[in-house]
Chain A
């Protein structure tokens, strides 16, 4: 049952994050839909870690170049998700308020994705240190 509770909590978090994103886009004050490109970053952000986990079997060593490259790329995608609305706002494509709303949604959604990996990444009881 713990899995169900965590799943419901995480989906609530994802819905809250997407709500912030859509508020940043669709409020009548802002009404610009450029921040929807952030959805690509949300989709791409778990990919490097999943690929590296599939490629290497992290059984023994704590040093793992492939996993660290994946973490580096994931960090890059997250930074890009914050950088894109800031650049939009500086280029006066979207308003600064929309940038703030979208960044809040970023924080919530990436926390949700991190929560997914913390809860469901450890599919067994002894491999609790996936991160």
Chain B
């Protein structure tokens, strides 16, 4: 028993990692958690309320569009938009800006549409079951923030 705690060192163990170098990894993990949590929320709602009356199936559209917007936003690197990458794509800087603009527009649009569905489809008509609307809203919010984290949480110029 004597000297049992002698080996404990505070703050200088090997697990003391440098978080600034792991920023991209942490951002990727956070984006993955947000994105897939959003999709599992909507899967849960669809499993709980499968009928057309409780949860109209057309309401899944805005989640799909948010996912497409997620792919569009993250398919273009920041260097392409700023124009300081080594190779221009097939459409150059303007094309990537237009592409990114459309992606963010779809992303914001799906977020707004999910709020609209929550209030216009479930809250205002005094629907007894509000949970699908909340699920749609949270799905789109999570996907939106996942897109932002995956786009802006990562740095792409660590070698400079």
Least Cβ distance of B66 to chain A in Å?
15
Question: Do A75 and B158 touch (CB < 8 A)?
Answer: no
With an 8 A cutoff between CB atoms, is B155 at the interface? Answer: yes
Question: Do A63 and B157 touch (CB < 8 A)?
Answer: yes
Identify which of A60, A75, A79 contacts B159 (C-beta below 8 A).
A60
Q: Which residue of A lies closest to B40 (CB)?
A: A83
Q: Which residue of A lies closest to B32 (CB)?
A: A75
Q: Given A75-B29, A86-B40, 16 other A-B contacts at CB below 8 A?
A: A63-B155, A68-B25, A68-B28, A68-B154, A72-B31, A75-B36, A76-B32, A79-B32, A79-B36, A79-B40, A80-B36, A80-B40, A87-B43, A87-B47, A91-B47, A91-B48
Bound CA–CA A55/B21 (angstroms)? 22
Bound CA–CA A63/B159 (angstroms)? 8
Question: Do A62 and B150 touch (CB < 8 A)?
Answer: no
With an 8 A cutoff between CB atoms, is A61 at the interface? Answer: yes
With an 8 A cutoff between CB atoms, is A15 at the interface? Answer: no
A interface residues, Cβ below 8 angstroms from B: 60-65, 68-69, 71-76, 79-80, 83, 86-87, 90-91, 131
Contacts of A131 in B (CB 8 A): 25
With an 8 A cutoff between CB atoms, is B85 at the interface? Answer: no
Contacts of A86 in B (CB 8 A): 40, 44
Question: Do B36 and A62 touch (CB < 8 A)?
Answer: no
| Interface SS majority for chain B | helix
Least Cβ distance of B70 to chain A in Å?
10
18 A-B pairs in the complex with CB atoms less than 8 angstroms apart = A63-B155, A63-B156, A64-B24, A65-B156, A73-B32, A75-B29, A75-B31, A75-B36, A79-B36, A79-B37, A80-B36, A83-B36, A83-B37, A83-B40, A87-B40, A87-B43, A87-B47, A91-B47
Identify which of B21, B28, B40, B47 contacts A72 (C-beta below 8 A).
B28
Question: Do A71 and B29 touch (CB < 8 A)?
Answer: yes
Bound CA–CA A115/B21 (angstroms)? 21
